[in-house]
Structure 1
Amino acid sequence: MSMQHNPVPGNTEAVEVHRDGGHYPDRFENPGLEEHRPRLGDVDPAANKRAERQIVALFLVSLLGTIVFIAAYFVVPLGDTPESMQRSNFFLGLGLFLSLFGIGAAAVHWAKALMNDHERAEERHPQRSSDENRAGAIQALKDGAEDSGIGRRGVLKGAFASALAIFPLTIALPLIGEVGEDWDVSKFKHTWWKKGTKLALDPSGEPIKAADVTIGSVFHVIPEDLHEAEHPLDEKAKAVVLLIRMDPRDLRSEQGEGWSYDGIVAFSKICTHVGCPVALYEQQTHHLLCPCHQSTFDVADGAKVVFGPANRPLPQLPIEVDDEGYIVAQSDFHEPVGPSYWERLK
């Protein structure tokens, strides 16, 4: 529908003229604020007191959540098994949720049920207010604090202060617990792979023969002797590998001479961006995709980055085949696996 702005004879107000000949004003009077409707707590003291008790209860929920978090940190250790990790994370997460939810819900309920809810409209002022306006703003803050009723609600004030006081423990406790931990970052430069270690299926640990790896197939691989490690899960997090076989004619380059076998290549499964597991292989393009941030690596060209935020290729594990036909590692990775960090900028 086309329209134009024309003055109406005898009227200086701009109007919209439509094809149907109708005249419609393009400006409307400010309707102002709606009539204030009091809340139940504004007219019923019992309802007001009930809302205060509800807010106190929410702050107590926050206190309980913090206690649950602290207890779980000491009583439910992380452990080295998936089950123990799941159990520990569940109770830690539950405690942190209750701690944060209690404070947040209490603050919202306080603002909606107890604080002044009269609508106000203020005209836009210049960016630099006058000294009088600034003094008025300070007084308004003081009035707001007074209006919140915190000064005359002792139980509410105590619950609020207690919840805020101990909540930081949910953040500080894990940090304090790290004191005395092993900060030797050099161990991240090496994995469980070593010369002669057989490549085995994850999670069964069954060694893999080259004859069983067909063109286009992908295997999730771990060191066969990983169970001998003191902390197998920690070592697995660094040593996981993707084993892929392609037509040798499609293999354009690799990171070291003789690091593959008849089109079979092995690359770290840990993305060099932030460490997500790279596991989506596209057989036609020979591309590996990281599902977290879409970094894409070309397996046929030494796992170089062809798209996304990763800034270096996936480290390649040098492999060969032993006398029994099993695929084994020639050595450990020749560079640190995983994302860039303070000692690896590229």
Structure 2
Amino acid sequence: MSSVDQNQPTADEIRDMTPEEAMIVGAELDGIRIAHRRERFPIRGTKAEKRAERGVAASFLIAALAGVAFIVCFIIVPFHWHLPGTPQNFKYFTPLLGGTLAAMLIFFGAGLVLWAKWLMPEEEAVQDRHDEPSSEEDQLLTEAALAQGFEDTGLGRRPMLRNSLLLAGGALATVPLVALVGGMIKKPGNKLFHTFFDPKWAPEGQKYVPIVYEDFRRVSPDDFEPGGLATVFPGVRQEVDGKNGVTDASSPTLIIRLRPGQKIEARKGQAAWGWPAENPQFVAYSKICTHAGCPASLYEQQTTRLLCPCHQSQFEVLKDAKPVFGPASRSLPKLPIHVEVGEDGRQYFVATSDYHEAIGPAFWERP
């Protein structure tokens, strides 16, 4: 505000003004020219004003209900994948979350727009920029402008609008928290320590879980050339409840056939986990990198190292998949394997037990 303004009211004169009068005077003294200002409803309490208020409140209420629906869907709608031919109700989980979230944002935004267009005064103003410090009069005029702005919103005299806005705002604040924190409410228990290679998942009448390719063909030692490897999975496929070892995220495993003369420096207690047990030429390791969970499946036959392409961690196969380069600090978990003779007389791999340690990267409860 310029110090040469001769018509600037005193602090006492400003205190005697109504908030709207003080707001207009302050705007003019601050270089703001109000070109047009009109109340939407000069006479308060009319039926038209009530209809407009109910319309805005309805938008906020719908936004709040959509937020509640999002939380309900997040909690109760099934989301686990199931095999084709089994109940596919999981497919509604993502569309329902997306739809309710979109409805909440759309109606909250619509309520704000309608509030400004239907209820708040119509005003056009032009302001000149200035950099002078604020005087006491400036501060009082600013307070008046803020007070009049709040009065223009109608929150003080429109409880329906205020309450619906609080509901919608509460939903808008709660939904992100539910989405971010909801997955951590229930502890995973021991799920991270078990895969479908556990013998309890063995097909009826069999002692061990068969090892299969992604098309469920069984894996045989005869499939491998020296130095070769393949990605394999537990042969678990239950049509009733949709359990599937091939699609399970913890399942991908590498079987590697060593070249002649190569020998594994096994970790303690794991010397007989390959096949043949007395001098293993086949070994199996989790394909999931222990750093960040990427697929560590690039195998260099000459250096006998497994490379993870994400962050360049390297695991020395002849040292039982010990990390020798990069950010990974833990060896790839080793799967105990053996062979059994199938009905066709060929040998096929089986897992004699589950992994003895959690696969994948470290997590908060791992010692």
Q: TM-score band (shorter)?
A: 0.5 to 0.7
Give the Å deviation of 1:335: 1.1
Unaligned runs of 5+ in 2: 1-29, 42-48, 200-207
Task: Tell me how far apart the structure 1 counterparts of residues 136 and 314 of structure 2 sit (CA, whole Å).
Answer: 61
Q: Which runs of 4+ in 1 moved over 6 A?
A: 33-39, 49-54, 108-113, 129-140, 173-179, 228-231, 249-252
Cα distance between partner residues in 2 of 1:305 and 1:117: 69
Q: Check whether the contact 1:305–1:312 (CA below 8 A) recurs between aligned residues.
A: no
Match of 2:366 in 1: 344
Q: Tell me which amino acid in the other structure corresponds to 1:298.
A: F
| Deviation, structure 1 residue 193 | 2.1
What SS is found at the alignment partner of 2:347?
coil
> Is the Cα–Cα contact under 8 Å of residues 257 and 281 in structure 2 kept in the other structure?
yes
Residue 200 of structure 1 contacts residue 206 of structure 1 at CA under 8 Å; is this kept in 2? yes
Aligned to 1:86: 91
* Counterpart check, 1:257 vs 2:274: no
Q: For 1:149-197, what per-residue CA distance to the aligned partner results, in whole angstroms no more than 9, with x for missing partners?
A: 4334555434312213455664569989999x7x572343233324642
Structure 1 residue ranges without an equivalent (≥5) = 1-32
Q: Say which SS state the counterpart of residue 326 (structure 1) adopts.
A: strand
With structure 2 as the length reference, what TM-score do the two structures score?
Answer: 0.57
The alpha-carbon deviation at position 121 of structure 1 amounts to 5.5
**Cα drift, residue 140 of structure 1:** 6.8
| In 1: Cα distance, 2:157 partner to 2:249 partner | 58
1:306 is aligned, of 325, 329, 345, to 325
Instruction: Report whether the alignment pairs 1:317 with 2:317.
Output: no
Question: What is the alpha-carbon distance in structure 2 between the residues aligned to residue 304 and residue 80 of structure 1?
Answer: 33
Amino acid at match of 1:98: A
Distance 1:112 1:313 in 2: 64
Within 5 A, what are the aligned runs for 1:105-254?
Answer: 106=111, 123=131, 142=147, 144-166=149-171, 170=175, 185-194=189-198, 196-202=208-214, 204-214=215-225, 219-225=230-236, 227=238, 232=243, 237=248, 239-245=250-256, 248=259
Maintained 8 Å contact 1:246/1:264 = yes
More relative contact order in 1 or in 2 (CA 8 Å, sep 6+)? 2
TM-aligned CA distance change 1:229 to 1:341, over 3 Å: farther
TM-score, scaled to structure 1: 0.60
1:279 correspondence with 2:301: no
Code of the aligned partner of 2:66? G
2:20 aligned partner: none
**CA apart distance, 1:333:** 1.2
Query: How far apart in 1 are the matches of 2:73 and 2:91?
Result: 12
Supply the distance in 2 between the matched residues of 1:157 and 1:52 (Cα, whole angstroms). Answer: 10
Quick check: 2:213–2:232 contact (8 Å CA) kept in 1?
Answer: yes
Alpha-carbon deviation of 1:199?
A: 0.9
For 2:288 and 2:79, how far apart are their aligned partners in 1?
23
What is the alpha-carbon distance in structure 1 between the residues aligned to residue 31 and residue 282 of structure 2?
73
Question: One-letter code of the match for 1:341?
Answer: F
Q: Which has the larger radius of gyration?
A: 2
Identity %: 27
Tell me how far 1:94 sits from its aligned partner.
Answer: 2.1
Equivalent residue pairs, number:
298
- Report the counterpart of residue 24 of structure 1 in structure 2: none
Please give the secondary structure, in 2, of the residue aligned with 1:198: strand
Q: Determine if contact 1:214/1:245 at 8 Å carries over to the other structure.
A: no
Using the TM superposition, give the Cα deviation of residue 298 of structure 1 relative to its aligned residue in structure 2, in angstroms: 2.7
C-alpha contact 2:34 2:124 (8 A) present in aligned 1: no
**Cα displacement (A) at 1:314:** 2.8
**Distance change >3 Å, CA 57–CA 194, structure 1 → 2:** closer
Distance 1:35 1:53, change over 3 A: farther
What amino acid sits opposite 1:210 in the alignment?
A: P
1:210, 1:326 within 8 Å by CA — same for their partners in 2?
A: yes
Matched, 1:66 2:57: no
Query: Helix, strand or coil: the match of 1:331?
Result: coil
Determine the structure 1 residue equivalent to 2:308. 289
